[in-house]
Each structure stands twice: as C-alpha cells, then as structure tokens.
Chains A and B, each alone.
Chain A
Amino acid sequence: MAHTADTHHGDGHHGSYLERKGGIIATIFDWATTVDHKKIGVMYLFAILFMFFLGGVAALAVRYELLVPVTIDPNTGQVQGQFLAALFGSDQPTSVSPGNNIYNRMFTLHGAIMVFMVIVPSIPASLGNFLLPLMLGAKDVAFPRLNLLSWYIYVFGSIFAVSSIILGGVDTGWTFYTPYSATTDAGHPKVVLMVLGAFILGFSSILTGLNFVVTVHKLRAPGMGWFDMPLFVWAIYSSAIIQVLATPVIGITLLLLVFERVLGIGIFDPARGGDPVLYQHFFWFYSHPVVYVMILPGMGVISDVLAVQAHKKIFGYRAIAFASLGIAAVSFIVWGHHMFTSMSELASTVFSALTFLVAIPTAVKVFNWIGTLYKGSIAFNTPMVYTLMFLFLFSIGGLTGLPLGTLATDLHLHDSYFVVAHFHYVMMGGTIVALMAGIHHWWPKMFGKMYNETAGILGAVIVFIGFNLTFLTQFLLGTQGMPRRYASYVPEFQYLHELSTYGSWILLVGFLIHLFNFLASLAVGKKAPANPWGGMTMEWVADSPPTEHNFHGDPVCTHGPYDFDRVVPPHWDPKDYPLPAPEAGGRPMVAHSPDKHD
C-alpha cells in the first residue's frame, strides 16, 4: 500500500493501522493475512471500487450501443448502428444477432456485477467493516478470522463470475430466470460459473451479516445501550439480519438451478412438471429483501452524515432506528410484486397492498432527515452535497415505485425503461450516492488525509447532472413504451436515448474527478485531524487513521451519538470548525469525556 500514512505518536505501541510492517513483500503478506477489521474494510473498498469500474464499463457499453437505433440498409442489406459488434470486430454485418448477443452479455455483466459484487457488499462490507467496531467502541468485529474469510470468499466468487466473462459472457440477465438460464449456451460451463459465483458471494454476505449481528449484540462499549448506537449501526444491524435470513434461500435456489442445468432435475422445467415461476418466487424471496440490504446501509450513512454535517441532534432518532427494523421486516413479504403478471389476481392484489407498506418507514426516515436539516448549521462540503443529492434522487426513486406497485399502472409500466429508471434512482441515486457521501465523510478517518473539497463538490455536481440526464430520460422512455433489455428501438426514441447516453459520459467524468481526487489525497493530501467534521460518535474519538486496536485504552460511552446541543465534540479544536450555537434555553455545553485510560 503506497499510501501508508506517517503518524507520529511517540509511542511505539500505538502506531497507525496503515503503518508498514517491513518491506513490500512483508506489507503485502501483512495485509493478505490481516484480521484487522479496518484493513479488511479497506481491502473490500478497493475490491468493490474495482468491480464498480468493471460494471461501469459494461454500463457505458450498453449506453453506447443505444446511442442510435440499429438500421438495415435496404440496398446492401448491411446492418448499421451496431457499435458493440463493430468494436468487437464481428464479421457478419448482414445479421443483427451477433451484435444483439454482445449487447445481451453486456447488460447481464453490468447487472450481475453491480448487484452481486458492488451494491450488496458496498456499504456494509467496506464502510461497515471499517466503522462498526469503531462506532461501538470495540477493538474488532466479533469474529475477525471469519471476516477475513468473507473477503476471500468474495474475491473467490468474483473470480468465478469474471471467469465466465472471459469464456464469452452470459446472456441470461442478472436474474438468471429459468427456463432460459437452464438452456442457453447448452454444454458450456460459463452460465454455471456465473451462477456458482453468485452462490459463493452469498456465503460471503451471510458470514459478514452474521458477524455484524453478533458484534452489535456483544461488543458495545460500556455505557452504550441500544439507543446510544449511531443510526449507521442500526441500519447495518437491520441489513445484516436480512442478509442472514434471506441469502440462504438464494443459495438453495442457485444450487437447484445448477442441478437443473447440469443434471436436468426438472424442478424448474415445465416439460418435466416443474415450475419456472417457482424459480422466480425463490429468487425474489431473496432478491427483494436484498434490495433493502442494498439501501438500508445507505440510509444509515445518510443519517450519520446528515446529523454531523448539520451539527444538529438528529430529529426522531428512535423513529429512524425502528424504521430500519420496520423496512427489514416488511422486506420479506413483498417479493410477489416482481411477478404481478404471473400470479393470480388475488395474490397480486395482496402483494400490491403489502408493497405500499414499505413507503411508510421510508417516508418516516426522509421526513426526519429534512427535520434534522431545519435550523442546523449546515456545512457545505462533498458529503453534504451527496447527502442532499440522496434526498432528491432517493425520493424520486421511492415515489416512482408507487406506480410500479399499483396493479393498474404496473400493467403498462412493467418491463419498460420506467422500471430501469426507477431502480437506478434507488440503487445508484440511493446506495451509490450514499456510498460516495460515506467515503468522503470517513475518508479522513480511513486514511488520515484530507481530500480537496473543491474537486469533491465539482465531481458531485457533475455526477448529479450526469445521473439525471441518464435516468430521468429513461422515465420518459418507459412511459412512452420503450421495453427494457433491447439492443435497438424505433427511431422515435432516439432523441431521449441519445440524451441518456450523453448523460452516462458525464457520469464517467464525474467519477473520474473523484478517482483523481482520492489518488491526489493519498499522495499529497493534508494530514487529517482526528475529528475534522465535529462528530460525536466513537469513531471520532480514535486517531485519524486509528491505531491498530482502534482506541487508546478502553472507551466508555458517556453521551448520545448526536448530542450536539450539550457536549463539546471529541478533539475539538476551534481552528478546525466553530461549535454550533447552543439552543436558547438549552443546557450548557459540557466537555466530551476522554477515554478512561488515555
């Protein structure tokens, strides 16, 4: 790791966790065998960002193909406008199918990588691993070796999935619906490899979730009750429960799919009396709750970043905490809304009604966040810009879910670009934007360096513009009847598709600015103070970057996570930031209690 921070404590036992252990080989070995949750979190972060890059390239390829509709020259019979086929040097310009095949593989690649390898593990495995023990005042997660094993399982599963790409790619879509997934590319191992990859990644997810649940139960610092935990911890806890309870079902489903493909057991094959809709039920029984594994940690990041950057006690702490658990509970009973068109009317109506329940705890959160911002002393920096972006984009994503959950409107909108736009607003506008907020917010803590604020805000604004250009247009396309997963379209749609593709390029620019900003920060960034934003939670008590066992001595929890109105933040230095004005008639500020043994 080239970005090893030089920290001087004058105390040999309390070096930064990033400190090198000898030469380059020794350092690599040290990282590869580490059981330190901080290093594992950082390794996850880099692995996930790499997969985000791969999935992003596939997304750009998909958008590039859709820049113009495919046309066939009436005179020569030549296919025009198949960019991907031209890019990969296809020698059959008279047929559209090679180009369509590449397109199908690209969107499958994009979906599978982004869902299984990026968004599901993104916030819990990277920020969660790094922050959970720090926020709880613990030295590590409950099972550190299991934690390292989860990372290796993640890498192993990713290699499985990526190897299927090297063998030519999979064209099933990320949902692997039968009977297509059981028959396509018959006799070729690549679909099995991809499915097994997802199966293996599931184990990584289960073990991480299990580890976090036990950590929250058993390793809270003395004095920290359940309602003294930061809301990020509540969110991680809720999503960890879903991970533990839902992932085994996808495990058996994917295993049965592999048996179906390899041995022809017939459970999902209608020709043998099996039922392909059973696969969909099994699949969504996992994959719908997992939508909330993706978004809940994002909501947790937003709760924490929002309160800290607004320097204000969070509004409705318990409401937000219970909303997380409420979303986790409801998430298990709404899976049927993915199959409205293949179920009985009664079942569809029941699932539709249950689906609307999700809106209640979600709206509770959004209103509480807005309530928190009211009269806060809001810092205008990259984490805050991303947080505000989250509120906009996630609200749009959530509200466009309502017409999809309503049976009458869903009949028109399902399998259209409206669905694509909806879940990108939730998944990317929600989870990825929250991840970006979280990375910037905790970057000084993770690496002990500040990033360039101007570049960060610039990148965020460009991402915001690019994102809306890419996906707002897709809502319009969807309402006009553009079906999803097609490599071409009627010329009437070209204008909106073009805008969407330009938007994807702007997104790329925004993310590249962030990438260079991060690299510049690691190379020449200013040294970060222990508490650059004035946070109250335990991770801001630790050094930046934290020492190997996180804290000097054993920390004790003496105040609530967002007591900005009555406690001076740890390591407060008037040079860094001013204290928020005490509320009229409020209690006087008290000093933050230092560590017991500091």
Chain B
Amino acid sequence: MVVEGLVKGAGRVAPGSAGELSGEADAVTLTAPSSNIFLPADLMKTPTACAIALLIAVAVPQPGIAQARGQYSDYEGMVRELKSIAKSHSDVVELESHGRSPGGHDIWSVTLSAGQADEKPALLVVGGVHGADLAGSEISVRFIRDLADGYGVADSVTQLLHGSTIYVFPRLNPDAGEAYFRFPLYERRLNGRAIDLDKDGYVDEDGFDDLNGDGFITAVRVADPLGEWMPDEEIPELLRKADAAAGQTGVYRLFTEGRDDDGDGAWNEDEPGGVDLDRNFTHNYAWFEAGSGPHQVSEAESRALADFAFAHPNIAAVFTFSPYDNLLHPPKKPGAKIEGKKPITDVLEQDVPYLATMSSKFREVTGYADSPEPPPAAGALSEWAYYAYGRWSFSVPAWWPPAPADPDSCAAADSAAADSSAAQDSTDVEAALADTAIAAAADTAAIDSAAAEAKSKSAEPDEEDPLDDQRRLWSWLQASGQADAFVPWTRIEHPDFSGLEVEVGGFVPFTASTPPADSLDARAEHYGDFLIHLAESLPRVRLERVEVEPLHERLYRLRVAVTNDGVLATHTGVGSRSQWSPKVRVAVELDSSQRLASGRRLVLIARLDGSGGTKELTWLIEAEMGSTVTVTSGSPMTGSDVRKVTLK
C-alpha cells in the first residue's frame, strides 16, 4: 500500500530538560533527563541491516544515556490526530469513545467504512493493548490515516472500504502508554486502577525508584557470593542464572531498580496501577497474579473492547499488535480436535491451514521473518479473540530487534526493504525484549516464578536459551550505534544494601519494543499492506448457482449453491459452534400462494470453507408456473446476496 500524503508526526522536538514533556506539540520527543547529548534520529537511517552489522558501533561514551526516540504521540496528541482525521474524512471515518480508563483517558475506536458499516465483513485492529505499546499504537493510527487519505484516491483503498469495514482501537491501554512520556521511564503494562498488587493491605506503595537518577528504570545487581546470577560468558554485561548442577556458582543478586519502599523484604512489588489488559481476557486467565485483575474482563478498557466486539457481529477477524505472535509463529499441524466438553486449548485442526496461509502471506507481503519466540500468553486479547470470541485472530509484535549478522535474516530484510526507510526498519531490534529485557535486567521472585511457570506451561520443551533475545538485542545495539541504550553497570549506594557493592545497569526501557517513531515508516507501510490483504481475505458469501428444475407445472425443485469466496472460512472451528458468530442464513421467501413441499424456509450454515467452500441446498416448491421466489443468503460476517428466480 502506498498512499501519497502520508502524514508523519508533525511534532516539534521538546526541550531536553529533566522530566519535562512537551504538552503542546502534537508529538512528543522523549529525552533523557540527565543527559545533554541526543542521538539524531538520522543516525539510525543507515542503509540495511547487514550494512549496520558491519559498521563499527558508534558508541557515545557518556555517563547517562542519550536517546532520540523519535516522535510518538502521547494520549492527547493521538486524540488530536484521530479527531483531525475524523473531521477531514467524515465520509468514511467515525470516531467513538467507549468510556474511560481508570486513568481518565477515553477509550477510542475508529470505524472506517464507506456505506453501512455493520452489514459488511469487518476486521478489528487493536493496538496498544500490551502495556505501553507505542509502536503498535502508532502503526494503528497511521493505518487509519492512510486508509482515510487513500479513500477516493487509491483504488485499492476505495474498494476495500466499500466491501469491508475496518474497526481500529488504536490504544486500548492509554494509561500504560503515558508511561513512555514520563520519567523515570519504565515499561509499564498496567492501567491506572489502584490495586494492592502484593496483597499486603496497602496500595501502590512500592514502585520503582530511579536510584542513579538517569531517568531510566533498569536493574540493580548486588555482589553476593550467595547470589544466583553470574555474568554471561558471551556478553559479560548480561547476567544469567548460574546452573548449580553444571558446577556454576552465582556472584550477584539481581533486582529491578528501586528500594524496598515499604520494608517488607520485596523490591518494587507494588508499582502504581492495577491491570495489564493483555492478561485480563478470558482464555487461560491467570487468577490471583499481580496485574491480571480481580477477574476476567474486569476493566473498563477490556470490557469496552469485548462489548464492542459482541455488538459488532460482522467482525470476522481480529488483528492485534502483541508479542503473542501467530503470524511468524503459526500453530503447528495437525491442530486440536474438539473432545466433548474439554476446554479447547490449542488451535483446532480445521483452522490450522488457514493460519498457515495467512502466515505465508504475511511473510510475503512484509518480508519479515525473524520475530522472537512468542512468550506464553495468559488472558491475552488475541487468544480470547479466537478461543472465546470465536473469530480469526492474528497477532504480531509491532516491532522487534532483527537478528544481527545472520545472513538469512539480512537476505530477508534486504528483499523486504529496498528503500532506506525499510532499512531503518531493520534497525527494528527492540521488540523481543519487551518482556525479556526486564526479566534479564532484573530479578524478583515473581519474575523467576513466572518464567518457570511459563516454561512448565509450554507444550514443547523450550530449547532456546532464555538469554538469546538479550544477546540479540545487545548485538544489534552494538551494531547499530546504540550501545548507549545499555546503561553500563555503575556503582551506587543502595540504602537497602549499605556497605555492599551495588551497581545499576541494564537495557534502557523500551529498547526492545519501541524504536524511534520516525523509523517506523516501512513497518507501517508493510503492516498496512498486510491488513488490507487480511480485510480482502475475509469471508464473502454469495449465491453461486440458483437453478429451477420443473417436475410438474405446479411443482419445482430449487437448487442453490452457497459459496464463500473469501480466503478465510466463514467461521473458525470455535465460531462454528458459537452462538456469537452468526451463522450463514439461507432463506427462501414464498408468497401466500406458494408452499414448501420439502426443505425448510430458513437454513443455517455453520461453516463454509474458504476459497470456494460450497454448500448445496434444494427445496421442492408447489407454486404456479411463472411465479417468483426470493433466495437470500449471508450473515453480517460474510456479507449477503439476494436472488429472485422465476419458477418455470
């Protein structure tokens, strides 16, 4: 998809004073408070990933970190952008609020459609659900802008919006998103609800603390011969768990950056906020875990999304920006079978081939191939969309650090990205660590136990070294001249460990998930292309054949073939069993002089396969020669078709 006039964040660069935000600019440039050096975004616009890999790292040997993070919109900026789009394209864009987050931000959706939106098959796109996912949110907004601008200009977009409806929730967790624009910087996942995360009777009493005053929440390591952590052999700045069975001994204890504010022997265990929306949905919901919420769909934001989804039964597929990637990591064959009332925990066998098809298409359209292994999901929106809502659900991170110096991935990146903007896209290296950076940089019992649990939950033994993602990030940072995105381990005095050797260091927050916004051009374009392809692949039902066979001058056999032209089947295996996925209705309308001798007036079809899946139906009708009957077929999810036939 190439749409001229793409609007990039028209932001001004905010002054770099400590903790200050530019509230007036449409987009806000985040700058580190303690640094007077800024890396120009242009520095990252090097030709290709391979070229980058060959470059000698341009490290900035300064204490404190300089980060030019490009221009992301904070909540206010995003709303201004959405309102401006809706205003200038009111023919195809509708902006709607669905209530407020606990932090007081409206939960916005955008409907893009030419004509009656709720009668066409629809794609629901969700950005910014996985904590402060600014990149996913940014791409979602750009997608909205591109479609709005493209309507009436680019034929593909015009056709798309006539045949389909696109719903976008560009930032489902605005409370978390705002953390990107605040110091100290940390990768917030929680919304603004005040919850006693550690269940000690006090709320939000032990959050992170910026001990070295660099504006970033990184990690604390304490030299301790009884510690469980040791430097990684390959990259000694990184820490790994010592393997006692292999004769290794740890030398550090590892924590997230902060104090034990409430003196309970745990560090940063009750940060401000309450619920991670990407853990608040129903599938595989983790009860009683910090951040999962008091119960499923407990939050204003998650409920707004779910209510919207059920109120729009024309949604046939859901696309989510999240690490629970099933586009580059599709489910493996053969898939699961439904066994009585047993919970469905894996993608069903009838759906696996469709996910494989869309996965290949995603690779083909975007050229991306090297996303990190998805972490285990619990309560994720994308899984809810398939397992409970019963729709096609696709998910991929908005961005991740590319695997550096890997000839394969360079080839892939090259083929995908011929122009320079795509090349900075290969500077894309940060997403993988959205989850793992903190885990790497920090230890708390919670993180360890979560990781252990995750491992025990995954069906196949995870052979991958948990450090791989960090090594990959590290290498990429070195190669792409961003070595300063790793805060070097530096001695501090820690009030909880007085007299001990304590250092602060680790990856700058967001390094693994959120590249400079202005480096996202190529990604936004590729994802836009894929999303358009996805919308074009939605099920479309039509009457392929309507034939009348006279048996007698008063008795006619009506034969109808109902066909799905979409690439995707009309219903997923789950949806075909669900009352929430409207079935394909085939109705024969008779007048009072006509009578059905066989067949039902209304037939409901639970699933038609994709790419021509067909169901043939017959009726016997007693009627006068030359009289007519009307056959209608379809559903909100598939569009509909009507045919009037004369009996003769």
- Whether A associates with B in a native complex is no
Identify the A interface with B (CB < 8 A).
Answer: none
